[in-house]
Amino acid sequence: MPGVTLLNNGLTTACLLLLDRLKQSVQKHPKRITAAVATLLLTGGGGAFAVASFAPDPADLPVTTVSLPVQSLAGDEQLSSLVDMPPFALYRSDTTRGSDTAESILQRLGVADPAAAAFLRGDGLVRQQLLGRSGRSISAETTDDHRLVRLTARWAPDEGSQFQRLVVERKGDGSFASRTETAPLTVGSRLAGGIIRSSLFAATDAASIPDAVAIQLAEVFSGDIDFRRALRKDDRFSVVYETLEADGEPLRSGRVLSAEFQNGGKTYSAIWFQPPGAGKGSYYTLDGQSMRRAYLTSPVEFSRVSSGFAMRLHPIHKTWRAHLGTDFAAPTGTAVRTVGDGVVDFAGVQNGYGNVIYVKHRNQHVTVYAHLSRIDVKKGQAVDQGQKIGAVGATGWATGPHLHFEFRVNGEHRDPMTIARESESAQPVPVAARPAFDRLAANMRVQLSSAEQIMQASAE
């Protein structure tokens, strides 16, 4: 019978294929196959034979033949169906570099389009806003044969609520056109965390946390943690911070919204809160106590410190002298800020100190900022905590760019770090704003817990 023949042929072919694959598997993994067969015989043989004993003899089973027509496409028809598939678009993104050319940008974006490269080289907007500019977000849409459809670059200034967009687009006739646009940034948030292995910046780098956020972390917790000397291996932190995005892509980081830092077995928490109707906000602990103290611990943002409050070999005179203050190593031009509210008592040049500023605070407290490259205040001027008053330099008896900082109480030199940490805190959350603060704190606790879980998962 034709149907039976067809069935037998199909079964024979299937069996041959099965045997061939089994042969290949045995040749490729002889030890594994032998072990598997032995295991089956030892552990499953009894059950297998027990089941087999109840099965009817195959010779007694009825045979039913089913014949179904199968229509297959000819080879040229199959090829035609593939050729007629609609084209698809490819997308890729990257970040510009200072050394970029038109060719290097297109190569990293997967574009192979000589006409596009020629346009980028010759277009004024592209040369001005893209080529040679580092740190700008770029993306490209291409055809399936890697011809450019659209190239978009996005960037935003350090301040402000808008971003710039440069668009290079292929027109219907195959030529290209460029344009710039301005659009509002959207505010999002990101949860992250890290573990200290060597330094704060190494931990934030490993967690892809921007330097601006790392600096804010050090600033927020500087009243409780000495980030220069007291960080320990396996300290950990969680943070929730703003991201400023353009077309869904983060362009820069914003303010730290909440954070938690575990240092030496103690846990410190902070949350940003602006009371309703208040002109500005501040950081508080999760129970509502202000984290703002009368003095900052550093006159420059978190940076490498070359020496602390101790005796040292004077770099000019080569003799041991008491180093009555702290030297903050930083590049020339780095902004210097006053550590507390006060009035400028002196701003000028002194022997040894070079360009120097004295700020008088209450309770007979005076701070000194020496070796400046620039002075931005005048004698008698009132200054607020954190206000920029000058810039790091190497004037006077300085062998390299750094800020020499002193804290004097009744004319006596004191360790500025100790004074800052012992200074009084600002007022807690106002009573009227407490319900709003408690709601925000509860929400931030949940987010910090999620950030902790993310950090633990990435560490495993």
Q: Based on C-alpha coordinates, what's the Rg of the chain?
A: 35
Q: Which of 216, 231, 201, 210 is nearest to 272 (CA)?
A: 216
pLDDT for residue 69: 72
Q: Which of 170, 262, 252 is nearest to 224 (CA)?
A: 262
Given pLDDT bands bounded at 50, 70 and 90, which one contains residue 23?
A: low
Mean pLDDT, rounded, of the chain: 82
Q: How far is CA 364 from CA 68, 311, 367, 456, in A?
A: 103, 25, 10, 48
Alpha helices in 302-433 (DSSP H): 416-422
Q: Is pLDDT at 49 greater than 50 in this prediction? A: no
Given pLDDT bands bounded at 50, 70 and 90, which one contains residue 79?
A: low
pLDDT for residue 167: 97
Q: Is pLDDT at 70 greater than 90 in this prediction? A: no
pLDDT, one tens digit per residue, over 275-304 is: 888 888 999 999 999 998 899 988 988 764
pLDDT for residue 80: 62
Q: What is the mean pLDDT of residues 432-452?
A: 92
Q: Is pLDDT at 328 greater than 90 in this prediction? A: no
Per-domain residue ranges for the chain? 90-184, 189-292+436-459, 305-422
pLDDT for residue 48: 35
- The proportion of the chain whose per-residue pLDDT surpasses 90, expressed as a percent, equals 57
Given pLDDT bands bounded at 50, 70 and 90, which one contains residue 315?
A: low
Identify the DSSP state of 148: E
Q: What is the mean pLDDT of residues 332-358?
A: 95
Residue with more model confidence, 276 or 83: 276
Q: How far apart are CA 446 and CA 440, in angstroms?
A: 10
Reported CATH class of domain 90-184: alpha beta
pLDDT for residue 382: 98
Residue with more model confidence, 306 or 157: 157
Q: One-letter amino acid identity for 63?
A: V
CATH of the domain spanning 305-422: 2.70.70.10
Q: What is the mean pLDDT of residues 120-144?
A: 94
CATH of the domain spanning 189-292+436-459: 3.10.450.350
For 261-314, give the secondary structure using H, E and C.
EEECCEEEEEEEECCCCCCCCEEECCCCCECCECCCCCCCCCCCEEECCEEEEC
Q: How far apart are CA 430 and CA 275, in angstroms?
A: 8
pLDDT for residue 45: 40
Residue with more model confidence, 181 or 319: 181
Given pLDDT bands bounded at 50, 70 and 90, which one contains residue 326?
A: confident
Question: Which of 1-10, 24-33, 277-286, 446-455 has the weakest average pLDDT?
Answer: 1-10
Token match 């550093």: residue? 298
Given pLDDT bands bounded at 50, 70 and 90, which one contains residue 53?
A: very low
pLDDT for residue 183: 95
Task: For residue 426, count other CB atoms closer than 10 A to its CB.
Answer: 13
Interior angle at CA 190, CA 257 and CA 237, nearest 5: 65
pLDDT for residue 36: 43
Q: What is the mean pLDDT of residues 109-118?
A: 96
Given pLDDT bands bounded at 50, 70 and 90, which one contains residue 76?
A: low
pLDDT for residue 117: 96
Which token pair is 154? 């996005």
Q: Is pLDDT at 244 greater than 90 in this prediction? A: yes
Q: One-letter amino acid identity for 199?
A: S
Q: What is the mean pLDDT of residues 168-185?
A: 96
Question: Which of 21-35, 146-160, 194-208, 284-298 has the weakest average pLDDT?
Answer: 21-35
Q: How far apart are CA 373 and CA 356, in angstroms?
A: 9
Residue with more model confidence, 422 or 190: 190
Non-local (6+) Cβ contacts of 303 within 8 A are 328, 329, 330, 334
Given pLDDT bands bounded at 50, 70 and 90, which one contains residue 321?
A: very low
